[in-house]
Amino acid sequence: MTPLAQLRALAEQLPPGAAVTLTKECLLALTAELEAARPLAVAEPVFTVATLATHLHRSRSTIRAWCERGERNKGLAATRVNGRWYITLEAVERFLGGPQPPAPPEPEANIGDWRKLRGLKP
C-alpha cells in the first residue's frame, strides 16, 4: 500500500476534528508520491481585458464585447472568473486568424517613379 493510500485510510477512520502527527519520512514519501503523480504543466500566457486592450490598441469595452460574444459567435474565447475575463494566447491567435506574420519592409522611395507619375522627364 502506498503512503498516500495509507494516509487516506487513516484519515477515513478518524473522528471529525481529530489531529494526526506524521513522521518526517512519511511526509517526504507523501510529497514524493504526489510530485511523481502530478503532470508537469507549462504556464500559458494569459491576458486580462486591460492587457489585451493595450496590446491590440483597442478599448477595454471592445475587448469585453468580444469576450461576451464568445467563440460561438466569432468572438474571443475567454474564461470569466469572479467577474474578470481571462484570455489565453491560443484564443487570441485563433481569434485574429493565427500567428501574425511580421509586416513587410517598406519599399525604398525612388525619385524616378515619382517623376513618371507626374509626367516629368527623368
Q: What's the pLDDT tens digit per position in 59-107?
A: 999 999 888 888 666 778 888 888 889 998 888 888 888 555 666 666 6
**DSSP state at residue 2:** -
pLDDT at 6 over 60: yes
SS3 label, residue 121: coil
Residue ranges of the domains in the chain?
A: 3-37, 46-96
Across the chain, what does the average pLDDT equal?
A: 78
- Region 30-37: mean pLDDT is 76
d(CA 7, CA 13): 10
**DSSP state at residue 47:** E
pLDDT at 9 over 70: yes
Q: Which residue has the higher pLDDT, 38 or 30?
A: 30
Question: Quick one: cell of 108?
Answer: 525604398
Q: What pLDDT score does 41 carry? A: 55
